[in-house]
Every structure is written in structure tokens, then in C-alpha cells.
Amino acid sequence: MAAFTELTPTEPDRARSEMARLVNRALAGSQGELWLLEDGELVRRSDDEDPSPKVPVSDSAQLLRVLTSSAGGRRLRALLDLLGAPQDAFAIPIQVEGRLAGLLVARMTVGAAETRRLAAVLAGQAAVLLGQLELVDALDRERRMMNAILRHSPVGVLLEDAAGNIVYANPEIEAIYSLQASEMPGRKPDEIYAAAGAVPAEVADADGTLELRMKDPDRTVHVRRVVIPGLEGEPAGVLTLHEDVTAQRQALEAKDLMLRAIGHEVRSPAAAMKNTLAGIMQWDETIDSTGRRTLLQEAYESSDRLLSLVESQLIIAKLETRHFEPVPEPIDLSSAMSGVVAVLNHRYAERTSAVEVNLPPALPPAFCEPAHLGQVLTNLIGNALEYTSGSVQVEARQVQRGWLEVSVADNGQGLPPATLETVFEKTGPAGRSRSQGGLGLGLYLCRLVVERSFGGRIWVAASDRRGTTFRFTVPARIRT
């Protein structure tokens, strides 16, 4: 019996073979055999090299009832015949947590009572070992599953022991700290942070999250600690989750800037319109028809500016989420420019006379969403009129079959060199005086429309003290 306790459940195949050998030796005089239920079959375990016989079992629960019932003699005899047991053989079930795990079969030889008692003890020992094997197998499956989860986790994971030494690091941790995960076990987390150039914030968040500032000042990593409980309340280790929140933080900051920009842009025309209408209501009896018309014109221009802002935000929202399918149609650029100048005339009045449109006579029509082309031209020409005092040149040419290139040039002071790379971003300034107005959403809208609606590109072709030139491409309808 002592030999059973020496079998290790961490080596399943060897443990089963040794268990069969011990049963065969203990019941050698009774031709004892060990049959184990494996994958729906009773398999005879033996330490010899003979092929192991197998008997299919369709319902192990029913078979267990037969084995433990006094009325199941005929069915038991039929089973023993299938197992090739002699007529004087008996079978003792091996149960693990109330389930059939196998059989111990032996002959009723001289001293049958002692043989049956010994077989029952051996069956009990086998049940204990098989239970341990099942537990080890379950733990191994959970380990493999957990390893798979950690390997494919979108966040970095470090596991520390009770002494604070790293015992496991998943692959994602490499992308965060640019260090090999295989070199981390045995080291302290602080050593990893120092090697990666990460500096912890002085105070952790209320939820215990530690913020790390990386060598790149724009990168931020959050570290959350999860204590793994051990015996008697003592921690067995610590699991730390490492997440690069740079993109999330930038998105939140961009959203905040966007909301502030929209608030600023909306407040100005809304307040102007309200004040103008309030003046008309207050001084209605003293204002002559010319003055009243001037005030109504100002209110109309403010409402037009407000409507244009709302329409721009709707287009931005659709294009950012890509929940938009443009409906292109042929557009005559000359007619489109006339419409844009007419719209801008409400805001800039005689300043629109500085807009000079030069289009070749044989220029093919553009092929795009009409409202989107109007938005791009309105923003580019409107920016030029807003921040320059000279003429604004609008030209177009066919650059290759199927595409037009449109340029809008002014003779202002140009864009600050530091803004050229970000001028088309959400928060990119449109010019030196842009701080007096909004945050440059117009050029961001232009980029979204040109790239996602037209499938073209937009860029700053030139910018210096002689002025700024913007160019963009738009599909053309080629006549065949």
C-alpha cells in the first residue's frame, strides 16, 4: 500500500502504468487486472508490451449502478465476458467523486474474502491517485488557458512573488518598455522602469493606479496592482497590469479641445445674433428702414456662420466614423466657385472682390459630393480672406487623367514654420492670427473631406512672407 503513496501525479502516464504494476503484483495469485475509463472506453492497464484491450462504454453512470447493485448480476457477468475475465472473476468499481473511473477485476481464488478485501483497498488507493491525476490535469488545462490569455493580452502583465521579484512577463510588456520579457524574471519592477527610462509620478491615483512618464514625454503608462492572496491572509504575490494610455489621453485631450473650440465658435455668432435682434426689439420705433436692414443683415450673417459651423461638425462626425458613403456627381468648377463666392459675400462683402478665379476653358468637371467640394473651397478661400488683405488666387488644372488639382493662394505673411506639420490636425492653427478666433477646425474638415470623401490629398504647397498656397486633388469626370 505504501508504494501507492510514492506515485507522483505530475507524471500521469507513468503513474497509471506503475499503478497497474502494483495491482498485478498484489493480486498476482488472483490474476488481478486494472481497467481504467479513458475517453469513453475501458482500457486494461498493464506493464507488459501487449496491446491494451479496449471495451467501449456508452453510459458510465448506468454501468456504475450495475456494478454497485445487488440485482445487476447478469449485466455484470456480460461485462466480465467482454473483458475476457474467467467465470469466477469479480469486479470492484473505482470511483472518483461519485463517477466511474475504472474497474479492478480479479478471480475468486482460495481465500476469496481476503482477496476481495485486498481488491477493495487497492481500488480505494487507485481512486485517490486517479483523483489527484484529474486535479493535476485540470490545473494544467487552466495553466495553459491562462498562459494563452496572458500571451495575447492587450496589456502588459508582470507577476511578482511575495518577495517582489518578477516571475513572469508576457510579450506585450516588451512593446511598452522595449525590453525582452525573457530577461525580466528575477528582477524587481523598479529595475525594469529604470532600464526603460520610466519615471513614476509622485502620487498614485485614488484607485492605486501608478502613472509612469516614459522617456518620450508624450507617452504615459498606467500600472495597476492586484494582490494575489495566499495562506492566512498573507499575499502570495502581486499581479501588475501595464497599459500604454498615450492614445487614450491624446483622444481625451483632442475631444476637450474640440468641445472648447466648438463652444467658442458657436458662442460668437450666437451672441452677435442675439444682441442684434435685441437691439432691433428695443429700438424698433427709433430705427429707420436703412438701419433696420443693416441690423437684420448682421443677424443673417451671424446665423449663416452658425449654420455653416453646424454643417461642418456634422460632416466631420460622419467622416471620422466613416459612416458615410459620398454620392458623387459632375460639378462645373466655375459654377461651384460662383456659389462659394456668393456665400462668402455675406460675411466679407466687398472683400470677396479680391478673389480671382482662373480656370482653363477645357477643364473637365469635378466628380464628387457637391456639398463637400463647397465646404473645402469655402474654408480655404474664407481663411485666405480672413487672414490676408490682398488678392486670393484660385486656379485648377488637370494633373492626370481622372484627377484635378485645385490651388488657393494668398499674399499674406505665411504660416509659422512650426505649424506646417500640424496645420490639418484638429487643433492646428490656420495662421498667425488664428488665436483671435477658433482652433483651426476648418482645415481639419478640409483634410477629412479630401482624403475620405474625394480619395485625394491636400497639402501646403508654399508658405513664406510672400503668402501661402494650399492645394488639393479631386476626381474629375472625363468625357469619353
443 in the same domain as 362 = yes
**Domain assignment of residue 414, yes or no:** yes
Q: Say yes or no to pLDDT of 204 above 70.
A: no
At 369-424, the pLDDT tens digits run 988 899 899 889 988 998 888 899 999 999 988 999 999 999 988 888 888 888 88
**What's the pLDDT at 276?**
83
**Domain assignment of residue 280, yes or no:** no
Grade residue 51 by pLDDT with cuts at 50, 70 and 90.
Answer: low
At 245-279, the pLDDT tens digits run 888 887 777 677 666 666 656 766 777 788 888 88
CATH of the domain at 211: 3.30.450.20
314 in the same domain as 440 = yes
Distance set, CA 304 to CA 132, 143, 311 (Å): 79, 64, 10
Distance set, CA 464 to CA 192, 406, 410, 415, 471 (Å): 47, 20, 11, 7, 15
Number of residues that this document lists for the chain: 480
113 in the same domain as 167 = no
Q: What percent of the chain has pLDDT over 90?
A: 32
CATH of the domain at 334: 3.30.565.10
- Tell me the HSE value of 99 on the side-chain side, using a 13 A CA sphere: 11
**Domain assignment of residue 205, yes or no:** yes
437 in the same domain as 319 = yes
Q: Could you say which of 95, 123, 148 is where a domain stops?
A: 148
Number of domains comprising the chain: 3
Spatial CB neighbours of 96, under 8 Å, sequence gap ≥ 6: 127, 130, 131, 134
Grid coordinates given for 309: 459651423
**Domain assignment of residue 288, yes or no:** no
118 in the same domain as 12 = yes
CATH of the domain at 108: 3.30.450.40
Grade residue 35 by pLDDT with cuts at 50, 70 and 90.
Answer: very high
Q: Say yes or no to pLDDT of 361 above 80.
A: yes
The sheet that has 355-358: what strands, in order across it?
Answer: 355-358, 392-400, 403-410, 467-475, 458-464
* 333 closest CA partner among 394, 400, 402: 394
**What's the pLDDT at 110?**
65
**What's the pLDDT at 480?**
58
469 in the same domain as 436 = yes
- Region at 197 (left for phi over 0; alpha for psi -120 to 50; beta for the rest): left
Residue pair 330/372 in contact by the 8 Å Cβ criterion: no
CA separation for the pair 474, 451 (Å, rounded): 9
Domain residues for the domain of 466 are 308-475
Average pLDDT over residues 227-231: 82
**Domain assignment of residue 278, yes or no:** no
**Domain assignment of residue 263, yes or no:** no
323 in the same domain as 465 = yes
Mean of the per-residue pLDDT values for the chain? 84
Q: Could you say which of 92, 124, 148 is where a domain stops?
A: 148
Transcribe 155-223 into DSSP letters. Answer: SEEEEEETTS-EEEE-THHHHHHSS-GGG-TTS-HHHHHHHHT-EE-SS--TTSPEEEE-SSTT-EEEE
Grid coordinates given for 204: 498614485
44 in the same domain as 113 = yes
Average pLDDT over residues 177-184: 91
92 in the same domain as 128 = yes
**Domain assignment of residue 270, yes or no:** no
159 in the same domain as 128 = no
Grade residue 433 by pLDDT with cuts at 50, 70 and 90.
Answer: very low
Burial 168-181 (b: 16+ CB within 10 A, else e): bbbebbbebbebeb
Q: Say yes or no to pLDDT of 451 above 90.
A: yes
In angstroms and rounded to an integer, the radius of gyration of the C-alpha atoms of the chain is 41
Q: Say yes or no to pLDDT of 434 above 50.
A: no
**Domain assignment of residue 276, yes or no:** no
Q: Could you say which of 196, 213, 244 is where a domain stops?
A: 244
pTM (2 decimals)? 0.48
464 in the same domain as 362 = yes
51 in the same domain as 144 = yes
